[in-house]
A and B are shown apart, each in its own frame.
Chain A
Amino acid sequence: MSTDIIPISRPLFALVDVNNFYVSCERAFNPDLVNQPVVVLSNNDGCAVARSNEVKALGVKMGTPWFQLKELAKQHGIVALSSNYTLYGDMSNRVMTILRDFSPHVEVYSIDECFLGLQGLGSLWPIPTGIGQTIRHRIRQWTTLPVCVGFGTTKTLAKLANHIAKKQPSFNGVCDLSTMPHEQFEAWLSTIEVGEVWGVGRQLSLHLNAAGIKTVQALRATPPAWLRAKFGVVMERLGYELRGISCLALEELSAPKKQIISSRSFGQLIDSLTELSESVASFTSSAAERLRRQNSVCNAIQVFIQTNPFREQDKQYSNCMTVPLPNASSDTRLLVRAALFGPKRIYRPGYAYKKAGVILTGIDSAAVHQESLFTLHGAGNRSAKLMSVLDQLNQRYGRETVAIFSVSKNKPWMMQQKNRTPCYTTNWQDVPIAYAH
Chain B
Amino acid sequence: MSSKITAALFGLLAAGPIAAAQVAVKAETIHTVSGPVIKDGVVVVTDGKIAAVGPAAEVSIPAGHEVLEAKVLVPGFVDVRATVGLTGIYNGDDQAHDQDMLERSAPIQPGLRAIDAYNPREELLEYIRSFGVTTIHTGHAPGPLVSGQTMIAKTRTTTLADAVMKPFFGVAATLSPKAQSGAGAPGTRGKTYAMLREALIGAEAYKAKLESYDGEGAPPARDLAKEALVAVLNGEAPLIVTANQAQDIASALRLQEEFSVKVWLDMAAEVYTLMDEVKAAGSPVLIHPTTYRAYSETKNLSFTTAAKLAEAGVPFAIQTGYEAYVPKVRVLVFEAAIAAAHGLGFERTLESITLSPAKLLGIADRVGSIEVGKDGDLALFNGDPFEYTTHCTGVVIEGEVASRAVR
Instruction: Please say whether chains A and B are actual partners in one complex.
Output: no
Chain B contacts to A: CB under 8 angstroms:
none
Chain A contacts to B: CB under 8 angstroms:
none
